Structure 1
Amino acid sequence: MAQDNDNGHNSSNTSSLGSTANNGADVLVDTLLANGVDVCFANPGTSEMHFVAALDRKPQMRCILGLFEGVVTGAADGYARMADKPACTLLHTGPGLANALANMHNARRANTPMVNIVGDHASYHLHHDAPLTSDIESLARPMSRWVGRARHANEVARQAAEAIHQSTTLGGGVSTLILPADAAWSETSTSPVHAPAPEALELDASALRASVRALRDRGDGKTLLMLSGRALREDALLIAQAIAERTGAHLIAQQSNARAQRGRGRVSIERVPYNVDAAVKLLAPYQRAILIGAKAPVAFFAYPGKPGSMLPADCEITTLCPPGGDPLEALEQLAEAVGAARRPESLLALPSMAAADKLGWSSATPINALTFAQAMAELIPDNAIVCDESVSSGRDFFRYTMQAAPHDYLQITGGAIGNGIPLATGAAVACPDRKVVLMQADGSGMYTLQGLWTQAREQLDVLNIIIANRSYAILRGEFKSVGAGEPGRNASRMLDLDNPAIDWLAIARGCGMEAVRVSHIAALGDAVRAALGRKGPFLIEAVL
């Protein structure tokens, strides 16, 4: 929480203060509720106290406290991915917003609908340049689709409706509304405003024709349908698989995706690997790529002597549906245009890797990236929500769990680590009747470990599995990939987390949840099965 130095108001404005139920804060909450925004993840300060008071008068709004602003925006991200509607956040001035930016970045990359309410000093107090005064607009703009400021109480409802509209239109996005303290506490005669209906991009007829042409050479196996966003839901994947069967095209998911529905009885689909060499090798055969809710795949970083684009240089790329469009409609029209059935003949295009490598549940079997993925393929319960910030330790998870129990899969989308614990927290708020299983790397987990406290306070049904390799293992790989050689003493001290080792059991218990530590695969299986048999938050530290 940002240090609080807002000293209130001057005597000329005392007439607008009080506990009135008809002030700017009240009409803001009423507008949120009127548009279906009924969850608020918050970390407030003095400038937001009238909004907090309004929440007291609006029991329909569920209020959830996060002890760090990155938890707040990360939880709002996880909530919206599963609820298919935005939550609002409440943040304290510019420094509070700044603490929230990394997970706003991930939400922006996921096209997540999110409405941020950021309190600011009273408008007449800004000229004093108090310690918390900052340029909130400039902080918010890079991570927001829309940024607005309510200049006075009569403008609050209209601005709030616009923020909601901008967050839900064109596939979803992050909106940030700045609420000065005097706009919150001043009386208003305005009423709640309903946001306009979300807009959608119309399908480009020329892109549809180009896509049909790309698919015309049935059976050559050199056309790729690259999917992301809404295209990775079960109904859309069935249509995509039918198109693939009709045309000989290959399906693949973008490397980072907000939500995918996968597992037994659903269409199996690969995703673009993180590793540049592996991605280039996988995509090398394709001469045509049709993007549906996806972007053309690129490397996360530049590496000396390696390409930035993962598709072949001569690959013909057609964007049938950009990320802000409607992938389901695009697939339906494409299926009709190529004469594909609405359902595929088979769902077994890609068998589970786990079937070829049966795991031995033994106390002699260590936990590593491979055995962890194999174990999770057997342990994931039906209808689970799997949140993944396992980073390097989870690289094998996706391919080994294609035939696991049906589940929704949420992953970090923007590469800003510290997303996993908040993401799982928000998903559990959205779906209280479903088990949430988080696979969390230990290094990135430390960024937002405060989310464990929120899980315990709200008694959320989350199983947190901390994969503890006690290092920033991904950075060891990156050190080599960029050609920096082998890390020496100083470099190793930037990459290792073992001196002292982080005690996740103590952290979990300090946040109010039970926890166990396991160090071999049989113990992991026992601990996961026990945790799945109970409700509420739990943590397992799996030591590699």
Structure 2
Amino acid sequence: MKGSESVLSTAAAAGMRVCFANPGTTEMALVEAFDATTGIRPVLALAEGVVTGAADGYTRMAGVPALTLLHLGPGFANGIANLHNARRGRTPLVNLIGEHASWHQAADAPLASDIDSLAAPVSGWVGRTTSAARAAEEFAAARQAALRDRMPATLICAADHMWSDGGVEAAVPEPPAPPAVAPERIEEVAKLLAGAARPALLLGGDALDGEGLRTAARIAAAVGAEVFAERSPARLERGPDIPAVRSVPYFPEDVLDALDGFSDLVLVGTGTPVAFFGYQGLPSFPVPDGTAVHPLADKGDDVRGALRALAEAAGAAATAPTAPPRPGPTAPSGALNASAVAAAIALTQPDGAIVVNEGVSSGGAYPAAATGAPAHTELTLTGGAIGSGMPMATGAAIACPDRAVIGFQADGSAAYTAQALWTQAREELDVTTVICANQRYRILEAELRRAGVDEPGPGATSMTRLAGPVLDWTAIARGFGVPGVRVSTGEELLDALRRAHADPGPHLIEAVL
């Protein structure tokens, strides 16, 4: 058995089923090993940002790590932005990076680089193979580290360790259990909530699944609290039987307004709210001066267990309070804006859909529209590095082939990783991408106004506009093998969405705003 075969067979034995790849010469032994190993599905992407973003989306939805296969330092560097998002979202995927043969590394060949330094900022664990005989054991250590740290782990695989004989499949350890929150902390927070004037719970991570939201609603009803969700969660569940939750706003002054008047803020699987950027006169941590912050469970803890224990300590009822039916949004008509696009998506999405929201400025309208939508999962941009939406939708569709996937997608960020459409077409994935085509970086226009630039000149304007030439998304989609249609009214968008959902497979709808 070659070292490459031992790595992939160990991955298969660990329950890993998909490898998103853009390989090169140093990965040829691993490419060959896919034919010698059953159970691992290789999925080719045309760009490394699609590889890493798809692995992120797959892992969020499948609950088991995806593999990536990347070519040396430059190939890995092309995928770093979406690995940044994966690290921020605490996604435990595993990167395999091909490296020059061990005896060739000292030659400083043209593609040689310091891969370890590139990988460290976006990985919780970085390691290197030492031989064909130990490669599988070293892979098992990478997988275990990813699961333990809830972050990407990176194994740098020397080409000769992969092509050489002597590989041995490694034993696969049980996934590590997340640390339990100390009973003393549970009791302390329960007492705090019982005596708080006006408490709030801020949920993140695993607390935003159906169980976590129902448990938080029980606690809130028992102690008179309100429940918030962190901004840009990795995964958020919604549905008629799941309590609705407010999201923390984007701009820091809006966060201060949302939290104004709360005496205490209990953190469950998330951190203290932090401003995306530093703004003059506004705090980095936008929490009102009169609001005390109390951690219950850290991001890597057993968050669900902590919520269950807190509900018991707080004397919460056994079931979440029944909420009145939530009506869906009004059907949009006439010219399109962000709210109209969000309403159309919510009104037409199939039951059990996965909505990948990278609308950037436009995507903020979706949560309000979605409160009355059928049961669904929303994935968002966790780390702020744009270009993740279309790849994440690709990975989510492979993880959940029985669920429709909808991409609520800004045009500017879609241009970063439009190659994802090719993989969607090749794999025949049921992904409907709705491009909000406003032909500008609207979030940058908002930031210019916040910086006091109300009338930007031609130089600044050229940095925020995508016109001249206008991106033709229907042509781009067709070029990658995906049928595309352009719409400009609410009626046209509703019709296009219904037709796309009736015809499983990839579709793109360019919604002109």
Can you list the C-alpha shifts for 1:241-266, whole angstroms capped at 9, x where unaligned? 11111111110000110101103221
Paired with 2:349 and 2:263, the residues of 1 have a C-alpha distance of 37
Counterpart code for 1:43: N
1:500 to partner: Cα distance: 0.6
SS in 2 for 1:89: strand
Answer yes or no: is 1:77 the counterpart of 2:56: yes
Asked whether the equivalents of residues 261 and 290 of structure 2 are also in contact (C-alpha less than 8 Å), the reply is no
CA distance in 2, matches of 1:277, 1:433: 41
The residue number in structure 1 matching 2:510 is: 541
Counterpart of 2:499 in 1: which secondary structure?
helix
Amino acid corresponding to residue 75 of structure 1 in structure 2: A
Equivalent residue number for residue 106 of structure 1: 85
1:204 — aligned with what?
182
Structure 1 segments unaligned to the other structure (5+ residues):
1-21
Q: Does 2:363 correspond to 1:394?
A: yes
Partners of 1:191 and 1:28 in 2: CA distance: 7
Shift of 1:485: 4.2
Please report how far the alpha carbon of residue 200 of structure 1 lies from its aligned counterpart in structure 2 after TM superposition: 1.4
Residue number in structure 1 paired with 2:113: 134
Counterpart in the other structure of 1:176: 154
Specify the alignment match of 1:42 in structure 2: 21
- For 2:337, the equivalent position in structure 1 comes to 368
Alpha-carbon distance in structure 1 between the residues aligned to 2:177 and 2:97:
25
Residue identity in the other structure for 1:52 = V
Among 473, 481, 484, the residue aligned to 1:515: 484
Please give the alpha-carbon distance, in whole angstroms, between the structure 1 residues aligned to 2:184 and 2:24.
52
8 Å contact kept, 2:240–2:374: yes
CA distance in 2, matches of 1:296, 1:162: 32
The answer to whether the Cα contact below 8 Å between 1:210 and 1:318 also exists between their aligned partners in 2 is no
1:134, distance to aligned residue in structure 2 (A)? 0.5
Secondary structure, in 3 states, of the residue corresponding to 1:385?
Answer: strand
Structure 2 counterpart of 1:384, which letter? A
Q: How does 1:454-493 map to 2 (within 5 A)?
A: 454-493=423-462
Aligned to 1:434: 403
* Amino acid in structure 2 at the alignment position of 1:383: G
Q: 1:150 aligns with which of 126, 129, 141?
A: 129
C-alpha contact (below 8 Å) 2:71/2:98 kept by paired residues? yes
SS of equivalent residue, structure 1 residue 410: strand
Deviations 1:92-125, CA, capped at 9 Å, x for gaps: 0000010010000000011111000000000100
Q: State the one-letter code of the partner of 1:380.
A: Q
Give the one of 340, 343, 361 matched to 2:319.
343
Whole-angstrom distance in 2 between the partners of 1:373 and 1:39: 32
Kindly indicate whether residue 191 of structure 2 is the aligned counterpart of residue 213 of structure 1.
yes
- Residue 89 of structure 1 is matched in structure 2 by 68
Aligned 8 A contact 1:238 1:342 in 2: no
> What is the aligned partner in structure 2 of residue 118 from structure 1?
97
1:452 equivalent to 2:430? Answer no
What residue in structure 2 maps to residue 282 of structure 1?
A: 258
Distance 1:455 1:189 in 2: 34
**Which residue does the alignment assign to 1:385?**
354
Q: Residues 492, 189 of structure 1: CA spacing in aligned structure 2 closer, same or farther, 3 A cutoff?
A: closer
1:160 aligns with 139
What's the counterpart of residue 225 of structure 2?
A: 249
Compute the displacement of 1:284 (Å).
Answer: 1.2
Unmatched runs of 5 consecutive residues or more in structure 2: none
Instruction: Verify the 8 A CA contact 2:5 2:167 in the aligned structure 1.
Output: no
Does the Cα contact within 8 Å between 1:208 and 1:334 map onto a contact in 2? yes
Kindly provide the amino acid, as one letter, of the partner of residue 308 in structure 1: S
The alignment partner of 1:154 has SS state of: coil
Deviation at 1:483, TM superposition (A): 3.1
Deviates more, 1:500-509 or 1:183-192: 183-192
> What one-letter code is carried by the residue in structure 1 that aligns with 2:367?
F
RMSD: 1.4
Separation of aligned partners in 2, 1:470 and 1:339: 53
One-letter identity of the residue aligned with 2:278: A
Shift of 1:467: 0.6
Structure 1 window deviating more from structure 2 (369-378 vs 41-50): it is 369-378
Q: Which residue of 2 aligns with 1:226?
A: 202
Aligned match of 1:506: 475
Instruction: Give 2:495's aligned residue.
Output: 526
Question: Which residue in 2 is equivalent to 1:13?
Answer: none
Q: Does 1:266 find its partner at 2:235?
A: no
Q: State the 1:346 CA deviation.
A: 1.4
| SS of equivalent to 1:169 | helix
Query: Can you list the C-alpha shifts for 1:393-431, whole angstroms capped at 9, x where unaligned?
Result: 122111221111110010110000000000000000000
CA distance in 2 between partners of 1:498 and 1:283 (Å): 39
Shift of residue 195, structure 1, vs aligned partner: 3.0
Q: Would you say the 8 A contact 2:20–2:68 is kept in 1?
A: yes
Q: Distance in 2 between matches of 1:295 and 1:484?
A: 32
Matches within 5 A, 1:11-90: 22-90=1-69
What amino acid does structure 1 have at the position aligned with 2:60? Answer: R
TM-score by length of 2: 0.98
Cα distance in 2 for residues equivalent to 1:314 and 1:285: 8
Report the Cα distance in structure 2 between the residues aligned to 1:156 and 1:286, rounded to whole angstroms: 53
> What's the counterpart of residue 4 of structure 1?
none
| Aligned partner of 2:310 among 311, 334, 338 | 334
Match of 1:408 among 370, 377, 390: 377
Q: Would you say the 8 A contact 1:204–1:320 is kept in 2?
A: no
Residue number in structure 1 paired with 2:412? 443
Query: CA separation in 2, counterparts of 1:523 and 1:189?
Result: 58
Code of the aligned partner of 1:101 = I
Per-residue CA deviations over 1:207-253 (Å, capped at 9, x if unaligned) read 223311221137x4x21110011111111211111111111111000
Q: Secondary structure at the match of 1:176?
A: strand
For 2:153 and 2:439, locate their aligned partners in 1 and report how far apart those are by CA, in whole Å.
37
SS at match of 2:456: coil
Asked if the contact 2:4–2:167 (Cα under 8 Å) also holds between the matched residues in 1, the reply is no
> Does the aligned pair in 2 maintain the 1:82–1:427 contact within 8 Å?
yes
Deviations 1:412-463 (A, max 9, x none): 1000000000000000000001100100000000000000000000000000
Amino acid at match of 1:318: H
d(CA) in 2 for partners of 1:432, 1:203: 35
Counterparts of 2:186 and 2:450, CA distance in 1: 39
The question of whether the paired residues in 2 share the 8 Å contact of 1:384 and 1:406 is answered with: yes
CA distance in 2: counterparts of 1:462 and 1:197, whole angstroms: 31
**Residue 189 of structure 1: CA displacement?**
5.0
Q: Is the 8 A contact 2:273 2:287 kept in 1?
A: yes
Q: Alpha carbons of 1:117 and 1:392: their partners in 2 closer, same or farther (altered >3 Å)?
A: same
**Residues 373-399 of structure 1, C-alpha deviations (whole Å, 9 max, x = no match):** 222231222100000000111221112
* Structure 1 position 70, deviation (Å): 0.6
Letter in 1 for 2:200: L
Scaled by the length of structure 1, what TM-score is found?
0.92
1:140 is matched by which residue type in structure 2?
Answer: A
